[in-house]
Chain A
Amino acid sequence: MPSATVSDSVPIETAHEDMIHDAQLDYYGKRLATCSSDRTVKVFDVVDGDASKTSGGHTLKGHTGPVWQVAWAHPKFGHILASCSYDGKVLIWKEQQGSGGWSKVGEHTLHTASVNSVSWAPHELGAMLACASSDGKISVLTFKDDGSWVADIFNGHAIGCNAVSWAPAVLPGSLITPQQQSIPGQQPQTQSVKRFASAGCDNLVKIWGYREDSQSWIEEETLEGHADWVRDVAWAPNIGLPKSYIATASQDKTVLIWTKETASSPWVKTALDPASAIASPSPASGTSGKFPDVVWRVSWSLAGNLLAVSCGDGKVTLWKENLKGIWECVSDMNS
């Protein structure tokens, strides 16, 4: 029975001088960007998952504090990377033609405290970047062709915002909603939505939507369920899934999966239960199991069918919803 997978790979030596906070692969899985307390961002090439053949990598210097997160833009916008830091800045980096080097092409300085999270919108919406900051504000940058941008900035969570994650551009079920007038010769386009979720120190998760008529971001919904800071939020890609899914990780040692059947139905929460390795829809009293420590990161796979949970006890577990709609732990990782 193949119950143990040995992931045999040579780790990429990042040569960061301090702890790594984030490591993200690009759209094709060919490049790795890392960021660290050493205030730098690094970019490495990955050849067929084999780290040993990678080049030394490029070091991107510009932040004056620890860099918390990096995010790759969709390749149709070029090789572009965003990073956010304790220094309150979001920097936009672009790989230069010819030289192969990276240079800073933008600096977003509207936040007054640490920026904890950056996230690019689905490419169908254009080049847009959402940023979450400890100043309690959320900003959304909308880029123009020439690389300049306009910024929307608004209050998100009273004590601070920890994470942002975009909804898929086309929400489940929207294939059957009225379609936009199609252009002759083009395939009919389905309506896309500009929407994201944010996680805050107010123990809340908020859903934000853009209103074209008022040209502004509106707080659409508030998800209450956590008893402490919400450390991370991840909206699942909707590849063929019938429902919308959001995963949230919290200081209260729980991971909640929020599901929404249709656009008009409410979000229903389910807690992952590490004790029984099986989660059941949580009753109103909320007697769900807890992780041994703070859960601080959740990440969905491309197909949205696997959720990786990083817990403060150093354990990474992978979760999957079974055919009966129950969440089960399918793998754990021994580091």
Chain B
Amino acid sequence: MAGEVVLLNFWPSLFGLRVRIALAEKGIKYESKEEDLSNKSPLLLEMNPIIKQIPVLIHNGKPVCESLIIVQYIDEVWNDKSPLLPSDPYQRAQARFWADFVDKKVYVASRKVWRPKREEQEEGKKEFLETLKTMEGELGDKPYFGGETFGYVDISLIPFYSWFHAYKVLDNINMEAECPKIIAWAKRCMQKEAVAKTFPDPKKVYEFVAQTRKKYVSA
């Protein structure tokens, strides 16, 4: 179960952050290797030749790719503590459904906020907020998406919180006003050590996002 664990990552990546939170929840020691995505390392290209993206978890020399697949792998291998997915098959299917929704809808919409044209940005914002409101509906009155405890769906979504400051400053999205339940839930997650110690500094994220945006958006 122990063995050598290496994570190929890129610090602002939402997907990489999911894996880092899962590793922290399980108390797994690992070596983190930062990738320069404009100059991918031979190791990354060898370990993920198909998609050539981070994150990649390398466990005893063998790669696991795609963040949600990695998180499930971590949960199944280190299954002696802090379960991330429910044990009941129906609950597990629901958890997978919502994490998949985050990938297919929330993430895709979040990218549209930075489309080149103004009207497209407004449309993107609207869509992004709608997906987060849908997540609020799913959260309901529960403290976490996982119910009483932090779990798979929480892990899939919480990394977006690291980008909210950037969205506020650059795109004028007031999340507190638009999605108060999401903000309350995110702050609750941030009280967890595994989340707090892995989360990047929102100011650093903002600087990174501001720089990257210049490439895509006509001020």
Chains A and B belong together in one complex: no
B interface vs A, CB < 8 Å?
A: none
